[in-house]
Each structure stands twice: as structure tokens, then as C-alpha cells.
Amino acid sequence: MDKEVVCVKEILAILPAPVRSVLSILPEAVLESIEEVRLRQNQPLEIRYGQQASYVTPKGQLTANSRQGWIFTEEHAVKLLNQISQHSLYALEEELKRGYITVVGGHRIGLAGKVVLERGEVKGIREVTSFNIRIAREKRGVAQKVLPFLFERGKVLNTLIISPPQCGKTTLLRDLARSISYGNQHASSRKVSIVDERSEIAGCLNGVPQRDVGPRTDVLDACPKALGMMMMIRSMSPEVVIVDEIGRAEDSEAIWEAIHAGVSVICSAHGFDLAEAVRRPMLGKLIQQGAFERYIVLSRSGGAGTVEGIYDGALHPLKREEVAWSS
């Protein structure tokens, strides 16, 4: 069976029967490219596929008219929540605090509703009324384009990936982890540690990565980045540490700690381009101090995961020939 369809099947299996029956009669081409299924209480079912968004009618047709869409009711919301929590909401306390649940296959369900506060902190979400099911797709091989630039004399260079949201940062990180862990034509296999604060890179369920992140990869799931990096360096002796979305003050300290310990760091950050990243307070400081030796800028201009440019530690753009020459 097609791999893309398998992803969608995993999601369909956890949906309440009425939602499942509406979605399963969608045309195969649409099913294959679904990125998000959005369910909001008393609102029509919406799907996002490719670059478009559309409502779905009860007959499984796509429509732009919200009034013709199939309505997701309160009853469906209760059932869906029951199903994804296995009738045990109390077991998902941490997940409800963070606002999303990871399910089998590494897919991610974002939640919104009435938030319960305790001493100014979010304690959880009580009446969950909006679900955003993001179907996780592995894109193997996206790292191939950038891999030649990331090694120097057998060492993995400290790398920062910069891109706006939804441009494939996490996908690239995951593929890098896999390629480095398995070994590739540029370097032999390495021990990789992933600190996966948002469970996005490895998509862990009960601590087990649901994505292929390589045979020599250890994953610290749902752990704050700065703490997790220190833990991994101390306990797992990694050669490469991979984290996503750095940006807090304590992250920079941990990154320096790793670099000084001789561990290569590959991380990602939000930003439109290199110039903007330099302007961000904590990130800019890291860049000026020369923490990173490579910068990869992504965009969506040619579809998610387009590599806009690769820069060296002095922020000069690199070309493939130069790298070939320097190694």
C-alpha cells in the first residue's frame, strides 16, 4: 500500500465513526495530500491539503461554502476526545497542559477550548472544542541537498537552520538525525541525541520514536531543551545533539556547554532570513560569538523545504564547489 495512504489510515482509525466515514470517501488524490484535519465544535469539517483548504460535505465532496460542510457536533467532540485519551483524560494531564497530544504514528493533535488556570499557570484544557489533526509525513532524503556542507575533516559542523514556520525545519532536522545516525557518503555513522521538547522530531509515543530517526539515536522526549541538552551530554555521550526551536536565554548557555564539550550541535530557530535571525537578542548573540559554523535558510518558495541558502560561520554564502574544495 502507498505510504502516504498509511499515514491517513492511522489517523482515520482514531476518529469517531461519523467523521471517519465522511473522510474515507474523499478522493484518493486528496487523501494522499491531506496535511491537516480541522474539527471545531458546531463548525464544518475542514481539511488542508497541498496549498489549499476546503470544507467537506456529508457526501465527501470538497466545497468552499461553509454552509454545505459536514458539521462537527459536541457529541462528536466528546467521542473524539474519549478515543484519543482512551477514556482516560487524567492520563493526559501533561499533554493538556502543553495543548497537544501525540498519537500512534507520530501525528499531532492540537487542542483548544476552555483553559483552566492554577496560580497563573495553565493547568489544562477542560472543554476541548477545537482539534487540529496534523498528519505527520516523513520526507526521507531532504537532508541530501545540505549534507555535503555540514562536514569538515570528518566532524559534523555546528549548524543553525533558520526558517519561517511550516517550511520544513523539523523535517530537515529529522532527516539529518537519520542520515548522521545511519552514516552517509560524507561521514561514518555517529551517536546522535535528540532533545525533543515538543515531540515533533521523533514523534515519540510512550517514549518510543514513531519515526525512523536512525539506529544510533537516543531521544529525550518532552524535555525542556536546555535541561535536556545538559542531561544528554552528561549521560549519553553523544557526538551530535539535535534540538529544535531554540530562542530562550538558557538555551544559549546549553549550546555553548555542548560546543565546549566537543559535541556538535544542530538546531533550528524561527526567522525569515539570516539578517533577521541576527537581530533577535539571544540568537544574534550566539551568531556574533561564532557558535555556529553553518547556517541553512529555508523557505517555501519552491514548496516546503526549499533551501534558500547555506552560509558559513562568517555569514558568507557557500557554493557546492567551495565545500568540495575545502574538504
Q: Single out the residue of 1, 29, 67, 90 in contact with other proteins (rule: CB under 8 A).
A: 90
Task: Find the part of the chain contacting other proteins (CB under 8 A) among 36-44, 123-131, 244-252, 290-298.
Answer: 123-131
Helix %, strand %, coil % of the chain (to 5): 35, 30, 35
Euclidean distance between CA atoms 319 and 324, whole angstroms: 9
* Stretch 288-307: interaction string toward other proteins, x if CB under 8 A: --------------------
Is 3 an interacting residue with respect to other proteins (CB under 8 A)? no
Selected from 16, 203, 214, 305, the binder of other proteins by CB under 8 A is 16
The yes or no reply on residue 74 touching other proteins (CB under 8 A) is: no
Residue 273 in contact with residue 143, Cβ under 8 Å? no
d(CA 222, CA 202): 10
Residue 157 found at the interface with other proteins (CB under 8 A):
no
State CA 162 to chain mean position distance: 14
Pattern of binders to other proteins over 163-202, x per CB under 8 A?
----------------------------------------
Planar angle of CA 180, 163, 198, nearest 5 degrees: 65
d(CA 276, CA 259): 24
Tell me which stretch binds other proteins (CB under 8 A): 21-29, 122-130, 175-183, 207-215: 122-130
Quote the least distance from Cβ 205 to other proteins, whole Å.
13
| Collapsed DSSP state (helix, strand, coil) of residue 7 | helix
The Cβ of residue 312 has, within 10 Å, a number of other Cβ atoms equal to 18
Asked if 69 interacts with other proteins (CB under 8 A), we say no
Q: Assess 93 for contact with other proteins (CB under 8 A).
A: yes
104 binds other proteins (CB under 8 A): no
Pair type for strands 217-221 and 192-196: parallel
Q: How many Å apart are CA 255 and CA 74, to the nearest integer?
A: 46
Work out whether 126 is an interface residue with other proteins (CB under 8 A).
yes
124 is a site residue for other proteins (CB under 8 A): yes
* Smallest separation, CB 120 to other proteins (Å): 17
Question: How many residues make contact with other proteins (CB under 8 A)?
Answer: 18
The answer to the question of residue 9 lying near other proteins (CB under 8 A) is: no
Which cell numbers hold the place of 263? 559535541
Burial class (CB in 10 A: 0-12, 13-18, 19+), 118: exposed
Among 12, 53, 89, 222, binds other proteins (CB under 8 A): 89
Q: How far apart, in whole angstroms, are the C-alpha atoms of residue 36 and residue 53? A: 9
Helix, strand or coil, per DSSP, at residue 44: strand
Asked if 85 is part of the footprint of other proteins (rule: CB under 8 A), the reply reads: yes
- Tell me if 87 contacts other proteins by CB under 8 A: yes
Least distance (Å) between residue 16 CB and other proteins? 5
Using CB under 8 A, pick the residue from 5, 6, 64, 91 that binds other proteins. Answer: 91
Q: Cβ–Cβ contacts within 10 Å for residue 41, how many?
A: 18
Q: Least distance from C-beta 192 to other proteins, angstroms?
A: 30
Asked if 83 interacts with other proteins (CB under 8 A), we say yes
Q: Is 82 in the site for other proteins (CB under 8 A)?
A: yes
Of the pair 119, 260, the CB lying nearest other proteins is at: 119
| Burial track 208-239 (b if 16+ CB lie within 10 A, e otherwise) | ebbbbbbebbbbbbbbebbebbbbbbeeeebb
Residue numbers of the site for other proteins (CB under 8 A)? 16-17, 78-79, 82-83, 85-91, 93, 96, 123-124, 126
